[in-house]
Chains A and B, each alone.
Chain A
Amino acid sequence: MLDAVVDVFQIVFFPGVLFIMSYALYCNWISRKFAARLQNRIGPLHTGWHGILQPLADFIKLLAKEDITPAAANSTVFSLTPVVVFALPLAALFLIPIQSVSNLWSYSPVASFEGDLVILLLLLTLMILSIFLGGWSSANRFGAVGAERAALMMLAYEIPLTLVAVGPAILAGSLSISNIVGWQVASFTNFLKAPGLLGLALALVLLVGVGIYVVCLLAELELRPFDIPEAETEIVHGWQVEYSGKKLALLTLGHDIKMVLAAALLTSLFLGGPAGPWPIPPIVWFVIKTTFCVFGLSNLSVLFARFRIDQLLSWAWKYLVPISVLQIMAVVMLSGVM
């Protein structure tokens, strides 16, 4: 009985739906505020402390707005897309170890099994497909162009994204994210005890992996310079153009949750997950590390002009894919030596 109560608590409140949603709104605020300061602006200011409640206010405002479905749209797919876009990253986050409810000092995901990394990567791919369906079903020309661009962009970054994520799994000898985190903690402690050249080489190879991963995540999140499918000045928010009201609110929240997912993935695959060298509860480590990742992502997104879709594809296949293949080869060789 108690187990069931704990499970429900985990899914609904912490670290489940409610926590993730509020954390997503917080990440939205962080990235907006940080990008604004970099661009010499002030950012949200009036709602709450330094505008911290602004994302929530935006969400509530959108909920109250008129919800229009175009007459020509395929209304089933059109209405389903926001739900899917919202639910997929949420489900993916259940697989990420954050904090155990029963023990303050240990971490565990809501759901964990051997092979959950594969499910997570599958969910990441499904997100792009849902975006494509949403844009296509809206029966808008800008929506169609945006959907087409989203699908094309997937060809550019999906392969490196998956390849690089497999690296830590090979090293840990497991396809479970919790085990990968466990391996990172163990090898990091070993490295501190007995630093060696091999460990340093491994760290360097994984650093290249982090670089590739960040680029792919920027594309996955449709942040600049990869905001090609929504490109406001070109195709008027692309695949989202026909969405309004509640559906748009869900889409925005879904995007924020995706941001949390991206930061959480970076954290769990490369930065040691919710564990750290000092005894602080895992949830605090998780917040510190993901906030740091959000900073990094929003910092990168203000530095560049938007790529054109053809430039992105040729650039990705010329550089990104070969480098990620080389990186995974280096990882395999190192894991053989170790």
Chain B
Amino acid sequence: MSEREFIVPVGPQHPALKEPANFMFKVDGEVVVDVEPRVGYNHRGIEKAMEARTYLQNLYIVERVCGICSNAHQTCYTQCVEEVLGMEIPERAKYLRVFMQELERIHSHLLWLGVAAHEIGFDTLFYYIWRDREVVMDLLESVSGNRVNYAMPTIGGVRRDLEEANFPNYHKMLDTLKERTEYYIGVCSSEKTILERAIGVGYLSKEDAIRLSAVGPNARCSGVSCDTRHDLPYLVYDEIPWNVIVETNGDVLGQVLVRVKETLESVKICKYVLDNLPQGPIKEKYSPLGKVPEGEAVSIVEAQRGELIHYLQSRGDNKPYRYKIRAPTLGNIPSLVERLKGGYIADIPIVLAGIDPCFSCTDRMAFVDEGKDRRWEMTEEELRRYGIRWYEK
């Protein structure tokens, strides 16, 4: 390390990070030379907890993996269980799940856009966007009864139905969202102080995005066309007309544009669902303590932040034998490091926020010794003793 270089720690607690994670920035004056990410401050043992609960109880746990993509996790989970059960859910339920998923995408992208504006110090835009986001929050509340954890998907279908009488109102709300989002596209691509902070900042080339396995909007803004909804269609995404948004900028502006344009696509999908909702039941029967036959399943869903993967292994019990979650942020961290290198300290927050990180969903624990190429696990008791020994030193 040269004399001019020193290390700036960002996190685990830092205003730019809404959740605990640690990044050690080696900086030279204002320029970032190297980054060392460290996650794992918020490990909650959700996978283990799920193994001790029945499938129906797990619905509630899996929803709480993340506050923002709760519906994505629940959809992914129910798809896993239904696949092992060999259950085909009603057509109307599929449409309703798509409707919830896209509403959640709208709310999440608008939330992100506000946070991005805050990170570059444009609080006025942040307040405006979050005010308009209330429209979709109201819509979500009116559909599901909740603003955050909607509890809509359940094993075998969805829990609540839409009422025909509300459709004109929903259309009106979606129109407002469309109009406001178009306005923000205009603001973000013409306001000079925003462009100064967005163009060329946190650049990631298409080759690097593929090499470092970026997912979701983080990859799409670098010109990689990857969207699970299009590549591996689930639910009814292959029946609905919509486009994959790909931008080629690769910088923060690209991330903004991908997300606002995706919001418009989501509004389009929601309106299509309202117009083409098939009649019929919304739920297949599933007994609360029902056993799931032996087998395993992988389910992939395009959450707002990218590809979300759930894996279920069942041994014929009414509890999962093994459950594994891979949240999109984990896939985005290597490319995030690449984006941060060579930038300025002032750009750290917006580039960090650029991948829309969600560390709580991502955190996991494994013991690795890189030098000896060894991995091992510890029981709770061993871990406790290890902790005591560590602090006695």
Contact = CB atoms under 8 A, between A and B. Distances in A.
Contacts of A227: 121
A304 interface: yes
B346 A234 contact: yes
Contacts of B16: 233-234
Contacts of A224: 121, 123
Contact of A303 (B8, B124, B348, B349): B124
A145 B197 contact: no
Contact of A306 (B7, B131, B197): B197
Interface string B106-130: 0000000000011111111101100
B349 A233 contact: yes
B123 to A, nearest CB: 7
Given A39-B127, A141-B6, A234-B345, A305 B15 contact: no
A304 B122 contact: yes
Interface in A282-304: 302-304
A39 B197 contact: no
B251 interface: no
Interface of B: 6-9, 14-16, 29-30, 117-125, 127-128, 131, 191, 193-194, 196-197, 344-349
Contact of B348 (A41, A234, A311): A234
Given A225-B121, A236-B14, A305 B127 contact: no
Interface string A11-54: 00000000000000000000000000011110000000000000
Interface string A300-318: 0011111111110000000
Interface residues of A, number: 28
Given A224-B121, A306-B121, 6 more contacts: A141-B8, A145-B8, A231-B346, A305-B194, A309-B30, A311-B196
Contacts of B117: 305
A221 interface: no
B357 to A, nearest CB: 14
16 contacts: A141-B6, A142-B8, A145-B30, A231-B121, A231-B346, A234-B16, A234-B345, A234-B348, A234-B349, A236-B14, A304-B122, A304-B193, A305-B121, A307-B193, A308-B346, A308-B347
A231 B120 CA distance: 9
Nearest to A38: B124
A307 B344 CA distance: 12
A141 B9 contact: yes
A40 B9 CA distance: 35
A228 interface: yes
A235 interface: yes
- Which of A224, A225, A305 has the largest number of chain B CB atoms within 10 A? A305
A58 interface: no
Contacts of B122: 304-306
A309 B123 CA distance: 19
A243 B84 CA distance: 58
A233 B15 CA distance: 5
- Which of B9, B16, B29, B191 has the largest number of chain A CB atoms within 10 A? B16
Nearest to A308: B346
Nearest to B196: A311
Interface pairs A-B: 5 shortest CB-CB = A306-B121, A305-B122, A305-B193, A39-B127, A304-B193
A67 interface: no
A236 B15 contact: yes
B197 A308 contact: yes
Given A38-B124, A141-B9, A233-B119, A308 B14 contact: no
Nearest to B195: A305
Interface in A129-157: 141-142, 145, 148
A114 interface: no
A308 to B, nearest CB: 4
Contacts of A231: 121, 346
Given A234-B16, A305-B193, A311-B196, A40 B345 contact: no
A223 to B, nearest CB: 11
A234 B32 CA distance: 13
Nearest to B191: A305
A234 B350 CA distance: 9
Contacts of A306: 120-122, 193, 197, 346
A40 B123 contact: no
Contacts of B131: 40
Interface string A221-257: 0001101100111111000000000000000000000
A295 to B, nearest CB: 16
A235 B346 CA distance: 8
Contacts of B15: 232-233, 236
A319 to B, nearest CB: 13
Contacts of A225: 121, 193
A239 to B, nearest CB: 14
B128 A310 contact: no
Nearest to A39: B127
A6 B375 CA distance: 81
B123 A302 contact: yes
